[in-house]
Amino acid sequence: MTVLNAAFLFDLESNMRVITENSYTSLLEKQWWNRVAREMPSSSLKERIIWLLETGFVDYGVEGQVQFVDMATVMQEFTNKFITGSGLKMLRSQLEDLDGVGISAATAWSRTMGALAANFPQQELAKAIHANGVCYDGLAYFHANAGGTTGHPYDPTDTTKGRFANLFTGAASAGVNPGACPIDVSVTLDVAQTNLSKALTYIREIKQPNGVNPRNLEPVAILVPQQLYVRARLVTEAKSVAMPAAGGAGSADVTALISTFGLEVILCPELGALYGGSDTRYYILCKDSTGQLGAWVYVNREPFSITYHGPQTDAQLASKREYEWTPQGRSTVGPGHPYLMYRCDGT
């Protein structure tokens, strides 16, 4: 029989820690959440993030007169939540078994928890994207701009400066919303490329909070579910596409068009219909040049960890008949800047 003493438990827990860390690290390379959300450390239950709006402008005016503008700010509050997960409880007899079943169960659980911990921010971010919660301007994060009166304001403190959409759906409205921009197999490849081009053109024309200058947004990636991945690669990488009979048939060189896209295709299975999303919907992600807040935010109050028994004496262990290991942590996911991410619906 295995002797369950302090040295044995210390070796077991050390091995569990290593397995958890290795599983966590190996999965980080396959994550996409950190491309979309900015991780921010937290030191309290609630975090209030405040940042300045670039509302200044330069223009011709009356000589000797200067127009002063107030310093505009916006705030978003994030409330951290406790992470709950499945712990591990084992009887003393299970750890003392000569066949090693108890040890195998403990190490297998450690491997699973490492993988789940690495995937947790991505799991919660996907849920938040599907839920489409309210962002700092009081509107749902993904919001259309019907008639130029209901979209995200360039300046949340002064809606007269104009609005923009980051939800492309339904019918198009010139200068207001490009409408649905499908790239799935419901349209031909040349039409899909035209639709993507329309979406990118709209994004690049969005203005700064002052309502005058372009924000010069730089689309860098297109996030797609599994069902749309191959199609998205064709749309963004094809060198030539078949032309419709009305256009003379044959094929056309689209190398020049493709070079203007400049998009990395990122596979995001959690955005598909199987996880509450859509198999024909994709998202366009823009580069965050401000360095203040990403498209989404992952506020990390207490990093994920596992509670171990720690150093104990043989006498203390002798009084225990069962042992528990529990995961814990505190964090939350919330919306950031709506101009950094765009949802493109298939219809």
Q: Which residue has the higher pLDDT, 107 or 143?
A: 143
139 DSSP assignment: S
Matching residue, tokens 């709209």: 202
Question: Is the separation of the CB atoms in 344 and 281 below 8 Å?
Answer: yes
**Total structural domains within the chain:** 1
196 touches 186 (CB < 8 A): no
Distances (CA, A) of 343 to 175, 202, 285, 286, 296: 17, 13, 9, 12, 14
The helix/strand count (H/E) of the chain reads as 8, 16
Kindly report the pTM of this predicted structure. Answer: 0.82
How confident is residue 149, by pLDDT bands cut at 50, 70 and 90? confident
CB 275 within 8 A of CB 126: yes
Strand partners of residue 73: 52
Residue pair 85/324 in contact (Cβ under 8 Å)? The answer is no
* CATH number, residue 267: 3.90.1690
Average pLDDT, the chain: 82
Predicted confidence (pLDDT) per residue in 251-290, tens digit: 676 666 777 788 999 999 999 999 999 999 999 999 977 6
Digit-coded pLDDT (tens) for 38-68: 988 777 777 766 656 655 444 444 454 544 4
- Mean pLDDT of the region 67-78: 64
Does 250 have pLDDT greater than 80? no
Q: Which domain holds residue 184?
A: 1-347
DSSP strand pairing (37-41 vs 296-307):
parallel
